[in-house]
Chain A
Amino acid sequence: MARLVNGIFNRLVIAVPFGWLLILFLVPFFIVFRISLSQTAIAMPPYTPVFDLAAGWDGLKDFLSQLSLDNFIYLTQDSLYVKAYISSVTIAFFATLLTLLVGYPIAYAMAQAPRTVRPTLLMLVILPFWTSFLIRVYAWIAILKPEGFLNQILLYLGLIHEPLIILNTNVAVYIGIVYSYLPFMVLPLYSALEKLDGTLIEAAEDLGCTQFQAFWKVTFPLSLPGVIAGFLLVFIPATGEFVIPDLLGGSETLMIGKTLWAEFFSNRDWPISSAVAIVLLLVLVIPIALFQNAQTKAQGE
């Protein structure tokens, strides 16, 4: 009897998160997918066909026959979308690389810090989450604008003679992404570096490595799982980022999140924006799935 209860409990433990994912991820995904196969219409909802249960079996057949891949074909025909995808992935990639370059030394220093100080440092990394993301990005406008803090300080120090134009350029987008996503990079790196056995570094030094060589040959390779986790945690949301390019970027900044927003709210073209969203998902999920697959295989060996 106890075993039976235990078995049911075990299933329940798995069923709850599964149900959560099913309802909050898979169902919305299928709704979006279904809209992406529809045509735009001036109606409520703003697309056709609309599935009508009252029409019965014929209604369903009629509904299915009206779905098409036209929107996806359209995405390949207008170069705007392809450019926006490429530009998004490029900006996200280099911004993630910058985040890694900034985040690694921070995580390394945290892992090297005395054990008693580490919780405080960890707290400091998480602290920005206490404030709204939107407000923090707004704050950057105040810092980066031509008459903002940064320019005033630089002018006062005499380093520049006229204000730098940073706001509404891609540079501001990079700054925004690096700033906003830094904790997502630092935390997995820190957890990988903190686990690292210090005697491995000593062993490397004992066998003839300088401290720098020991870092490259032992510390860095062993922190790779953290690097990869941090990279994905930053790269994936940064690719679809809307708020940062919208608030900090300029007219030259072409990112798929902005395009999606414009299609949805400005053009009210739900089917096209749904198709954009589905393709974005595929662009991100397929390479990551392949990568994960390769990694599991490598670990299995």
Chain B
Amino acid sequence: MKSLGSIRRSFAPWTDPSAKPYISFRNVTKKFGTFVAVDDLSLDIYHREFFALLGASGCGKSTLLRMLAGFEQPTSGEIILDGVNMAGTPPYRRPVNMMFQSYALFPHMTVENNIAFGLKQDRMPKNEIADRVAQMLKLVKLEKFATRKPHQLSGGQRQRVALARSLAKRPKVLLLDEPLGALDKKLREETQFELMDLQQDLGLTFVVVTHDQEEAMTMADRIAVMAAGKVNQVATPAEIYEAPNSRFVADFIGDVNIFDGLANPSQGGDLDIAVAEGFTIRTPVGGADVRGATRGFAIRPEKIRVTREAPADAGINSVRGEMWDIAYLGDMTVYIIKLPNGQTVKASSLNAQRSVENPLGYDEDVWISFDGDAGVLLKD
């Protein structure tokens, strides 16, 4: 069965109309002077969800997170957390904790004291604090570094201290602002999986802000793609990638080729789009409502085949072009093919074998082709 569902199969409260959201943004607007950072935004996040706010810098994702933490007050609209309206609740009374992008570790305190800071603030008994700190240090594997100061730690270790400190109070929701931004690529990938495991084990709700789509796709149950203070699409990573609801989302996530043309019904109930590149896309996706309209058809590079021989039904979901560029990336090869009208198409293929006989070369005439259901018909 084909599915664009969640990674954790049993976990999809957003599909259940009776499920109650844990965090609700209701028509939230935030203005800084005349600049609208968040624009009439509504969003529901569910208990135990790993939720990612994804967007370019300045899209309002960090402002949204800071409003949830209480550092900013919405200009209008309300934020409900676990059934309580958060309006007027200062940051120190909110059951959320934040892991800051810069980590914001207290430089004058040891690792232990950083982790114990929030617990001491809550006047937890001393022996309980010691137990909790030990538990947190074990969780982030920093037992040996308890008495060090932050400046004596590596970037990765600091990130762990920040994580332990924000988890120590057992918040209802953990907010993570670009949590892995300062780590190098390898460490970032490892830490992504650790964060996912941690979130599962602790059963907490995580809201992460990131501009890194790979990070969001890896970790999140659902992603909200944001731009200009609005949410463009909220969906699982697979839905965002395979069924983007707009040109913006299709373009923002991963690589995509978009063909525009007039959509008309064909024989057999399919849709024919006569695209400007001089061929016809015949696709089963899309309903009667799009007929006679100009629409975009988005298709990902890995779903495009590149061959020397013309495919059957040449001209339907296939077009002839010239090999313009080849980029060998190790795990896959990316081809840039120039079509007769000058438009370029990106295609990629997995290098499943170590070597290929007579590989495709520059300036060769090639055919690109794809399946009619491999792409998605954009709504705009």
Task: Tell whether A207 pairs with B97 under 8 Å between CB atoms, given A197-B102, A221-B108.
Answer: yes
Contact partner, B69, options A204, A206, A209, Cβ 8 Å? A206
Contact A208 B106 (CB under 8 A): no
Q: How far is the CA of A205 from the CA of B108 in the complex (A)?
A: 17
Interface residues in B45-101 by Cβ distance below 8 A to A read 69-71, 90-92, 96-98, 100
Q: How far is the CB of A88 from chain B (nearest CB, A)?
A: 33
List residues of chain B with CB within 8 A of the CB of A208: 92, 118, 121-122, 169
Q: How far is the CA of A200 from the CA of B91 in the complex (A)?
A: 13
A206-B92 in contact (CB<8A): yes
B22 contacts partner chain A, Cβ-Cβ < 8 Å: no
A202 and B91 in contact, given A207-B169, A209-B121, A222-B107 (Cβ under 8 angstroms): yes
Give complex CA distance A199, B104 in Å. Answer: 6
Contact flag A199-B122 (CB < 8 Å), given A205-B92, A208-B92, A222-B108: no
B160 at the interface (CB under 8 A from A): no
User: Contact: A205 with B91, CB < 8 Å?
Assistant: yes
- Which residues on A sit within 8 Å (CB–CB) of B118? 207-208
Q: Is the interface of A mostly helix, strand, loop or mixed?
A: helix
Count A-B contacts at CB 8 Å: 56
Residue A64, interface by CB 8 Å: no
Name the A residues within 8 Å of B106 (CB-CB): 200, 203-204, 218
Q: A207 contacts B100, CB within 8 Å?
A: no
A198 — nearest CB in chain B belongs to which residue? Answer: B104
The smallest C-beta distance from A211 to any residue of chain B, in angstroms, reads 9
User: How far is it, in angstroms, between the C-alpha of A209 and the C-alpha of B91 when the chains are bound?
Assistant: 9
Closest to A214 in B: B92
Q: Which residue of B lies closest to A200 (CB)?
A: B104
Which residue on B lies nearest to A210, using beta carbons?
Answer: B92
**Which chain B residues numbered 111 to 128 have a C-beta less than 8 Å away from chain A?**
117-118, 121-122
Within A205-229, the residues touching B (CB, 8 Å) are 205-210, 213, 217-218, 221-222
12 pairs, CB–CB < 8 Å, chain A vs chain B: A199-B102, A200-B104, A203-B100, A203-B104, A203-B106, A204-B117, A206-B96, A207-B118, A207-B165, A208-B169, A209-B121, A222-B108
Closest 9 CB pairs of A and B: A207-B118, A208-B121, A203-B104, A199-B104, A205-B91, A208-B92, A206-B98, A221-B108, A205-B92
